[in-house]
Amino acid sequence: MEKIEPASPATTWLHSLFGTKKNDEFLLIFTLPGETSNWFSSLDKAAAYAESAKDYNVYFGTALSPDPRELLKKYQAEEPDKYKNKSINGIRCKAEETLGIAGLWVDLDIKGPGHKKTNLPRTEEEALEIIAELHFEPSHLVFSGGGLQAWWTFPELWRFSGPEDRQRAALLVERWQTYVKKIAKEQGLKKIGQPFEVDSTHDLARVFRVPGTFNRKDPKNIKPVLLVQTDEAIQKYEPGKIEKFLDQEKIFLAPRPARTSEPDKAGKIKNFSGPLALHKDASPEFNAFQALLEDEDDKRFRQSWEHKRRDFTDQSTSGYDLSLATLAFGADWTPQEVTNLVIAHRRKWNEDLKLDRPDYYQRTITRAQEAFAAGNTTPEMLADQTRDARSGQKEPISAEKRKEILDDLSATFGVEVNGWYKLAGSPETYIIEIDRLRVVIGTADSVLNPKAFARAVYSAFDFALPTFKPKTWQGVVNKLGKIKTDLVPDETETEEGLLSYWLRKYLAEKPILENAVEGIGEGQPWYHKDGRVCFQIQEFRKYLQVYRVNEFKTFTKILNNIGAEYDSSKIAIGPDQYIGRAKWILPWAFSNKQPQAEQEQEDEQ
């Protein structure tokens, strides 16, 4: 009788994943040191090679690849300078060229000498506890020598039918890992008081260690890579079943469509071509929008959407348009998708949709692309550069010189100074950023007066600046001028525009009650009987204080200029009972009700 030798761990592993692969589908075996790519159409030969490379760290590609010879020709044609001297042993398949995957994967590092991060599972048991909390039991487990790799395999290979199918697979891997990160966060908070960190390994060009080889990351502590769990009878999972579960868990991510505007070699994004469609009912794609809105790791998008960003002073709707557009480009949205987002944003805040202003959307798109390429996500960060380009001013100071001046000012003031800004308007307003919070100093007169300057800082931070002699203060002001950033306020460049913005924001965040008695009692705005909105100035001042807004020295003139009416008449609270409350009645533009054809007579005298 012929003796049947048991399959090696590498052979068992590769066949369990890719056992039905075709001859024209290649598997990468990658080795370190040397960064050498070895390509195999035979799984048995791939496994034999992996186990023979005993002096190397050995990895396999998580996705199948086309013929590497064809890949090399393609890459040499596309990037001749980079690939002209390469062989197939010096290239790896890019994610967008992969052919298919066997399942979903996750890599959990375990705290130890090979890892610098401290917020990792401390033991294999803690890593396994994360896996145990997941909704689906893994098909396979591999101890990599420094962590745990888990796989959820499909009943058959997912061969990509085209770019959209590949994108769907890539998105599913990322969504699954996002779900695992959520569970790891919860487990970490229970175990160590902070979330356990899970590396992002969702790209389709990822390589993982091969069971049956050795982890040689630390030459003094070589560990085997062990296949712990593999069973033909174990549960396998249809991709659709996992997608449905992730939908129920509300694990959504922005899709990764191919860009219509690709970065050039300088890292900038080229101008888009083609007209933008402007529709009053335009809205962003739901899943992509929800992914950004619900991102727990980066809340800037939600804060911008809700007009709650505290890290910049340009609180105009246009400023938020630019911030949202920049963040959306960071999630690979197209110019048309960003345009739909901006329209929906302006509609949410009852602002002019500017549908007759395609130049506004084109300008916003271009500035957002530039901001994204430069790594900027606030509307102020490109303001200096933009204004200088328009006016022909001199180049801004270097980052090193700027830091040097900020450090000098911090030492002079005795508190960390982060920036100095000028908001255009009539008059212009100056703002200082201290300890990452901004406070309005006032006009140029307040800047040149050290006592007025100190009063503004103290009112915001309860911190008294040192006393300065006139000549010393002149030097301080000149240093501030050198690091000044011009803010681009757009609609808010006048006092009337700025106050209108804050009134709209106030009304959007506060419930507008149906009668005056409730409004006064609860300190909220209310509807006048004709449908216009009323508010008490003292309540509005309290709201502005939350945002540290103190630009408005007096409201009367500005409110009159925007068409508001002052009313000091008494309000009826019962038969022959009245209370006296001064109020302002805003013009119809601030109300979401329609004017009545025949206004009812106010029960006020």
* Angle subtended at Cα 211 by Cα 208 and Cα 213, rounded to the nearest 5 degrees: 95
DSSP state for residue 538 in the 8-state scheme: H
Q: Are residues 40 and 177 in the same domain?
A: yes
Mean pLDDT (whole number) for 229-253: 79
128, pLDDT greater than 90: yes
CB atoms within 10 A of CB 49: 17
Ranking 123-127, 156-160, 228-232, 247-251 by mean pLDDT, the lowest is 228-232
Compute φ and ψ for 323, nearest 5 degrees: -65, -45
Report yes or no on 34 lying in a domain: yes
Report yes or no on 574 lying in a domain: yes
* Angle subtended at Cα 359 by Cα 304 and Cα 257, rounded to the nearest 5 degrees: 60
Q: Which of 16, 475, 521, 5 is nearest to 229 (CA)?
A: 16
Show which of 348, 381, 414 is a domain's final residue: 381
Alpha-carbon distance of 581 to 366, in angstroms, equals 49
484 beta partners: 420
Q: Are residues 158 and 293 in the same domain?
A: no
> What percent of the chain shows pLDDT beyond 90?
29
Pick 260 or 372 by higher pLDDT: 372
The pair of structure tokens assigned to 24 is: 């024209």
Cβ proximity of 170 and 186 under 8 Å: no
605, pLDDT greater than 50: no
CB atoms within 10 A of CB 202: 21
Compute φ and ψ for 65, nearest 5 degrees: -125, 160
Cβ proximity of 484 and 397 under 8 Å: no
- Rounded to the nearest integer, the mean pLDDT of the chain is 80
Report yes or no on 313 lying in a domain: yes
Q: Are residues 505 and 580 in the same domain?
A: yes
Report yes or no on 36 lying in a domain: yes
Report yes or no on 363 lying in a domain: yes
Q: Are residues 35 and 120 in the same domain?
A: yes
Q: Are residues 112 and 171 in the same domain?
A: yes
Q: Classify residue 594 by burial, with Cβ atoms within 10 Å: 0-12, 13-18, 19+.
A: exposed
Report yes or no on 277 lying in a domain: no
> Domain with 15 in it: what CATH number?
3.30.70.1790
Q: Are residues 83 and 137 in the same domain?
A: yes
The reported pLDDT for the residue numbered 273 is: 47
DSSP string over 280-295: TT----HHHHHHHHT-
Q: Which of 435, 392, 424, 428 is nearest to 318 (CA)?
A: 424
Strands (E), 172-268: 207-209, 214-215, 223-224, 226-229
Q: Give the 3-state secondary structure of residue 271.
A: coil
The pair of structure tokens assigned to 210 is: 């091969």
Show which of 248, 266, 294 is a domain's final residue: 248
Please identify which residue in the block is written with the tokens 């209310």.
Answer: 526
The reported pLDDT for the residue numbered 604 is: 37
Q: Are residues 194 and 317 in the same domain?
A: no
Cβ proximity of 292 and 325 under 8 Å: no
> Domain with 554 in it: what CATH number?
1.10.10
Show which of 381, 404, 430 is a domain's final residue: 381
Cβ proximity of 283 and 350 under 8 Å: no
Q: Classify residue 601 by burial, with Cβ atoms within 10 Å: 0-12, 13-18, 19+.
A: exposed
Cβ proximity of 239 and 172 under 8 Å: yes
Q: Are residues 91 and 118 in the same domain?
A: yes
Domain, as residue range, for 228: 9-248
Q: Model's pTM, two decimal places?
A: 0.47
Mean pLDDT (whole number) for 421-441: 72
Report yes or no on 52 lying in a domain: yes
Q: pLDDT per residue over 297-334, tens digit each?
A: 678 888 888 888 765 545 677 778 888 998 888 777 88
Q: Are residues 362 and 411 in the same domain?
A: no
Q: Are residues 428 and 315 in the same domain?
A: no
Q: Name the pLDDT band for 601 (thresholds 50, 70, 90).
A: very low
423, pLDDT greater than 80: no
Q: Are residues 25 and 153 in the same domain?
A: yes
CB atoms within 10 A of CB 579: 13
Q: Are residues 239 and 135 in the same domain?
A: yes
Structural domains counted in the chain: 4
* Angle subtended at Cα 478 by Cα 474 and Cα 482, rounded to the nearest 5 degrees: 170
The reported pLDDT for the residue numbered 361 is: 86
260, pLDDT greater than 50: no
Q: Classify residue 385 by burial, with Cβ atoms within 10 Å: 0-12, 13-18, 19+.
A: middle
CB atoms within 10 A of CB 47: 26
Cβ proximity of 440 and 553 under 8 Å: no
The reported pLDDT for the residue numbered 200 is: 83
